[in-house]
Amino acid sequence: MNEGIRLDTDFFQSTDVVSICKKLIGKVLVSIIDNHYTSGIIVEAEAYRAPEDKASHAYNNRRTARTEVMFQEGGHAYIYLCYGIHHLFNVVTAPAGIAHAVLIRALEPLDGLEIMMERRSLCKLETRITKGPGSLATALGLRTSMTGESLIQKKSKIYMEDRGIKYPSSDIIQTPRIGVGYAEECAHWPWRFYVKNNNYVSATKS
């Protein structure tokens, strides 16, 4: 399992969540859940920038029991349930009080393939193992009950690291976000980044 350099608290404190989002492409997301080590390269992610972003759950600095963790300082996990079925994993960014977050939308799997296949009920390796935010959360064993967990502490069960993976900037594509059509003028903001020609990037609805 090829140790990399853990992303520390400084990485997540910038108020430029779009830049952080772009920098996360190529970083590795690791989880150690139920004693299983699993990881994958982040190949698709989206930035959410409250208070002005209508697509964010914390739009207009709305504070509820669910969104409260988004106001914590950068480096915490925000995991919530979507459509009653899917657990979606985000990293909170910016200093405390600023509710920015990055949604991880797709991974290229690295470690723990067997476990991930089992969690996804696959008998052979298919790209859909970690394609799409709900899929990757299932593959890594991430659940809404883990929302608020720190990714920074040494004992963290969820964290990110840099293993020196780099993509040419021409291979990092920037587009509008997926599934946020309700967000009016914010819907077309190009805050989604993904790796060109990567098979694990989720399909875009045309």
| Site residues for DNA per CB under 7 A | 46, 48, 55-57, 62, 64-67, 78, 80-86, 88, 90, 101, 103, 120, 128, 131-135, 144, 177-180, 182, 202, 206
Q: Tell me which DSSP letter residue 142 carries.
A: -
Closer of 46 and 149 to DNA (Cβ): 46
Smallest distance, DNA to C-beta of residue 153, A? 22
Which C-beta is closer to DNA: that of 30 or that of 139? 139
Left if phi > 0, otherwise alpha if psi is -120 to 50, otherwise beta: which for 184? left
Give min distance, CB of 17 to DNA, in A: 11
Smallest Cα–Cα separation from 159: which of 56, 35, 37, 14?
Answer: 37
Structure tokens at 179: 């599934």
- Residue whose CB is less far from DNA, 28 or 180: 180
Cα 145 from Cα 99, distance rounded (Å):
20
48 vs 159 by CB, closer to DNA: 48
- Least Å distance between CB 154 and DNA? 26
CB of 180 to DNA, least distance (A): 5
Residue 90 to residue 137: CA distance in whole angstroms = 10
Q: Report the first-to-last Cα separation within the chain, whole angstroms.
A: 38
